[in-house]
Amino acid sequence: MTPVKPAKGLLVLALGLLVLGGAGFLLAPQYPGFGLLPMVLAGIILLARGPSRLKADLQSLAEPQIARRLRIGLKLLLALAIVVAFGSLTRLPIYNLGPTKNLTLSPSELKIIEQLPADVEIEAFLSQLGEIRFGPLLALYERSPKITVKKSHGPGRAEQSGSGFQLALPDRAIIRAGPYIETVSPLSQLGLKAAFFRIVAPSRLVYNLIGDGQKSVQDQSSLGLSQWSSWLDRQKIFLRDHVWAPNSPLPQGGSALILAGPKVDLLDVKNTALLQYLAQGGRLLVMRDPLAKGLAAEAFEDLGLSLAEGLVVDPETAWAGTNDLFPVSHDFPAHPATLGLRQPVVWPMAGAILTAPGFNEKPKDPDNPLSSHTWAVAQSSPESFLETDLEQLAQRKPALNPETDLKGPLTLATATTLAQGGRLALVADSDLAANLFIANPGNLAFMDSLIHWLLGAEDDLAPRAESSFFYLTQTRARIMFWLPVVVWPILMTLLWALFYRRRRAA
């Protein structure tokens, strides 16, 4: 029988691919392609060699010189694994279990529990580490005779969503109290407290102004606000349409007002009434349609805000599966209205909010009731720009003109606080809360947090809508393509060619 000639290079190549695949799964578990492709290539090589040849290959590794090199390589891999593991332990919050001994509820949490109705159910979905982290906390809540806790364990579960299925991530809770349902995802002590706070909070009435082409909460079409209204009903925030006649005053008795995408030019008397309402401590949410003339660009100049003409174009969104007229926000500036937001927000044809011309040069008047401070709470990506040429947009050929178009990041939503306690939430997109787009978890979470900030619920800062997907930026999409498809195969080919050349030279 002809002895089988060992091929140490192929074996080393296969082992290297297996190590690369394992490192890919360890470093980027949310991108399985990083680890899957090298391991598949390694499996192909091992299968092609066959059992007898693999046995000869493994025996050849016992040679002193080869064994010494393998020991050095294993030591380096072990050191790398220790460094990666240490970085994961210090970076990932899920491994930071926190204190579980002597855990108590704060006086404010106990006060909220006293105000809860008699029958409250917490349905918690926990991973193994989530049980260690949140089990003692849930046990404290279960001590109250008003609260029942039901727990399910596992790495995750698939649940039906409409006509398809989505992955429900672990460590979350659903709280049911009569007709009200609250979702806390990701699960946290702050999130539980905020959810219970919303349950015991008094009902609030918010008037949605109509009469100038605005969106209606009773409209069940794709561009209506009925789904968002139904969602807020479960949190005891009731939206009601109010016809705002030209010579009629603003409605009284509501906690806030909404002006959602007027299509007809607002009269000067209405613009003045809105500013007076804010100056007297009112709360107002304005969503502007950038393609309509309903809200003038200078409507809020007295507050230092100007509504830009044109549409925001974002080439980066093509990598996320949407067109470039649907910018995406995924990194939010720090503000109470954005605390805890992690889901991407999709903006269907949005405008931009700018600083009013000359506003920064005006002297500040402490006696001015419209004295205010504004924060940007949502922005487009740095690759975006404001297209002002409507003909280019109509031909679907938007292009950045450095002389007329503003470069991103551009402000898409602002939060303004006035001297007398008034608040203005200004959104440069009237369709963000429409029925067609509110189903996006990021849109729902953003609008939910914005309305709660507007109503002054300072203790209610946890997100209420969950997400089952992550957003691909342009850089991430390129990495996901080039690394497993191009870089790694070329690297493995070069390493094999180098090894083969050295073996031939020897």
Please name the residues in contact with 326: beta carbons below 8 A apart, sequence gap of 6 or more: 314, 317, 346, 347, 348, 349
Beta strands in 282-324 (DSSP E): 283-287, 305-307, 311-313
Copy the structure tokens of residue 184: 């806390």
* Domain termination residue (choose one: 194, 229, 262): 194
Q: 360 and 395 in one domain?
A: yes
Of residues 82 and 343, which shows the higher confidence score? 343
Residue 114 lies inside a defined structural domain of this protein: yes
Of residues 43 and 329, which shows the higher confidence score? 329
Q: How many domains does the chain have?
A: 3
Among candidate residues 438, 470, 460, the one with its CA nearest the CA of residue 342:
470
Q: What is the pTM of this model?
A: 0.62
Say what the pLDDT of residue 81 is: 62
Copy the structure tokens of residue 100: 């579980």
* Domain termination residue (choose one: 162, 194, 226): 194
CATH number at residue 342: 3.40.50.880
Q: Cα–Cα distance between 501 and 362 in angstroms, integer?
A: 74
Neighbours of 190 (CB within 10 A): 13
Residue 251 lies inside a defined structural domain of this protein: yes
Q: DSSP assignment, residue 324?
A: T
pLDDT tens figures, 80-92: 666 655 544 443 3
Neighbours of 362 (CB within 10 A): 11
Please name the residues in contact with 451: beta carbons below 8 A apart, sequence gap of 6 or more: 206, 232, 237, 256, 285, 425
Residue 131 lies inside a defined structural domain of this protein: yes
Among candidate residues 282, 261, 260, 262, the one with its CA nearest the CA of residue 273:
282
Whether 470 has a pLDDT exceeding 60, the answer reads no
Say what the pLDDT of residue 115 is: 87
Q: Cα–Cα distance between 39 and 19 in angstroms, integer?
A: 8
- Please give the helix or strand (H or E) that residue 148 lies within, else none: strand 147-153
For residue 472, name the pLDDT band (cuts at 50, 70, 90). Answer: very low
Residue 183 lies inside a defined structural domain of this protein: yes
* Domain termination residue (choose one: 194, 227, 256): 194
The size of the chain, in residues, is 506
- Compute CA distances 457 → 76, 111, 137, 204, 450, whole Å: 53, 16, 24, 11, 10
Q: 283 and 168 in one domain?
A: no
Q: 329 and 258 in one domain?
A: yes
Of residues 475 and 223, which shows the higher confidence score? 223
Residue 461 lies inside a defined structural domain of this protein: no
Whether 474 has a pLDDT exceeding 70, the answer reads no
Q: 394 and 293 in one domain?
A: yes
Cα maximum dimension of the chain: 105
Among candidate residues 66, 64, 63, 14, the one with its CA nearest the CA of residue 43:
14
Q: How far apart are the first and last CA of the chain?
A: 27
Please name the residues in contact with 79: beta carbons below 8 A apart, sequence gap of 6 or more: none
Q: Cα–Cα distance between 58 and 66 in angstroms, integer?
A: 11
- Please give the helix or strand (H or E) that residue 42 lies within, else none: helix 33-49
Q: DSSP assignment, residue 368?
A: -
State the Cα torsion 128-129-132-136 to the nearest 10°.
-90
Please name the residues in contact with 465: beta carbons below 8 A apart, sequence gap of 6 or more: 183, 343, 441, 442, 444, 445, 448
Say what the pLDDT of residue 26 is: 65
Task: Kindly state the average pLDDT of the residues 7-22.
Answer: 70
Say what the pLDDT of residue 162 is: 42
Task: Kindly state the average pLDDT of the residues 204-213.
Answer: 92
Whether 9 has a pLDDT exceeding 90, the answer reads no
For residue 44, name the pLDDT band (cuts at 50, 70, 90). Answer: confident
Whether 409 has a pLDDT exceeding 60, the answer reads yes
Residue 356 belongs to domain spanning:
201-454
Of residues 54 and 311, which shows the higher confidence score? 311
Give the rounded percent of residues in the chain with a pLDDT score beyond 90: 18
Whether 318 has a pLDDT exceeding 60, the answer reads no
Q: Cα–Cα distance between 230 and 276 in angstroms, integer?
A: 30
Task: Kindly state the average pLDDT of the residues 208-224.
Answer: 91
* Residue linked to tokens 């996901």: 480
Say what the pLDDT of residue 435 is: 92
Q: 314 and 237 in one domain?
A: yes
Q: 219 and 116 in one domain?
A: no
Q: 215 and 181 in one domain?
A: no
For residue 66, name the pLDDT band (cuts at 50, 70, 90). Answer: low
Give the mean pLDDT of the chain.
77
Please name the residues in contact with 243: beta carbons below 8 A apart, sequence gap of 6 or more: 210, 211
Of residues 132 and 500, which shows the higher confidence score? 132
Of residues 482 and 30, which shows the higher confidence score? 482
Whether 210 has a pLDDT exceeding 60, the answer reads yes
pLDDT tens figures, 418-463: 988 899 999 999 999 999 899 888 888 899 889 989 988 654 444 4
Give the rounded percent of residues in the chain with a pLDDT score beyond 70: 70
Among candidate residues 84, 206, 253, 278, the one with its CA nearest the CA of residue 450:
206
CATH number at residue 161: 3.40.30
Q: 366 and 223 in one domain?
A: yes
Say what the pLDDT of residue 203 is: 84
pLDDT tens figures, 194-206: 888 878 878 889 9
79 HSE (CA, 13 A, CB side): 6
Say what the pLDDT of residue 208 is: 94
Q: Cα–Cα distance between 53 and 59 in angstroms, integer?
A: 10
pLDDT tens figures, 164-186: 434 445 678 889 988 788 888 77
Residue 346's DSSP bridge partners are: 328
Say what the pLDDT of residue 159 is: 41
pLDDT tens figures, 253-280: 889 999 998 998 888 889 999 999 999 9
